[in-house]
Amino acid sequence: MRISALMIGRGGSSLANKNILPVHGHPLLHWGAAAARRSRYVNDYFVSSDDEAILETAAQMGYKQIRRPDELASDTAQSCDAVKHALDIMEADGGPVDVLVVQHANVGTISETMIDDCVSILLAHPELSAVVPSHENQEYHPMRSKRVMEDGILQPFVPGPASPNRQELPKAVFFDHSFWVVRGRSAVCDPEGQGPWPCMGPRIKPYMTSGCLDVHHLEDLKTTEKWITDNGIPAPSL
């Protein structure tokens, strides 16, 4: 069975070079790459980016480089289109991918246990298209959200009554966007895939975590360092 890691990351960002900024003395993306390298399941590794620094930094961890075309590297480009582009190249390189572990280059709060747990769940449940780290956040429940209308007045985003008590609302789950474990091409190209990331396919199971820790600001690097220390994550190495 071919279980492949695919790290994705663009060069353009409001935080310059965020994917390769130092975290405990190592480039941020090395932490996620190291987790995949330690996985007992993942057996090959790729990185998709338009940015030479990201490609070269991931290559230091044994990731094969896939240069992303300009049309898949703009601010409006869709992650799933980049995944499909990379998957075509990966399968041309080594045959069908049974399970694809899509990693986000700006997240270092990943362990091999998390990856292996998600792969194990997917393999044990053939009806699933993906297993994705997710967290519950009732404070920002969609039934409590508001839409700003043309006249500037707020209206409920989701029609219908909603309790003001979080405990009475149905559980609301949000993706961490640390990584996705996807059932290869059958999920990535499924026309019934759930939006806004249809490459996860239609039947997604959450792998519950304590929350999302992706890096968008400098202070997020400190949060990442604390998570790594608190969880005893070993330093990246080949």
* CA 205 vs CA 31, 54, 79, 120: distances in Å: 25, 30, 20, 12
How many C-beta atoms lie closer than 10 Å to residue 224's C-beta? 22
Q: Where would I find the H helices in the chain?
A: 28-38, 52-59, 79-94, 112-124, 184-188, 218-230
Cα(166)–Cα(144) distance, rounded to whole angstroms? Answer: 9
Q: What is the pLDDT of residue 166?
A: 85
Q: What is the pLDDT of residue 238?
A: 75
**Domain-wise residue ranges, the chain:** 3-134+173-230, 138-171
Pick the CATH number of 3-134+173-230 from 3.90.550.10, 3.40.50.720, 3.40.190.10, 3.40.1710.10: 3.90.550.10
* CA 150 vs CA 69, 144, 157, 201: distances in Å: 37, 20, 14, 35
20 close to 53: Cβ distance less than 8 angstroms: yes
Q: What is the pLDDT of residue 227?
A: 96
Residues 6+ apart with CB under 8 A from 57: 19, 20, 27, 29, 30
DSSP secondary structure letter of residue 223: H
- What does each of the 238 residues of the chain score in pLDDT, given as a tens digit? 999 999 999 987 778 899 999 999 999 999 999 999 999 999 999 999 999 999 999 999 999 999 999 899 888 889 999 999 999 999 998 999 999 999 999 999 999 999 999 999 999 999 999 999 999 988 889 999 999 999 999 999 988 888 888 888 899 999 998 999 999 999 999 999 999 999 999 999 999 999 888 999 999 999 999 999 999 999 998 7
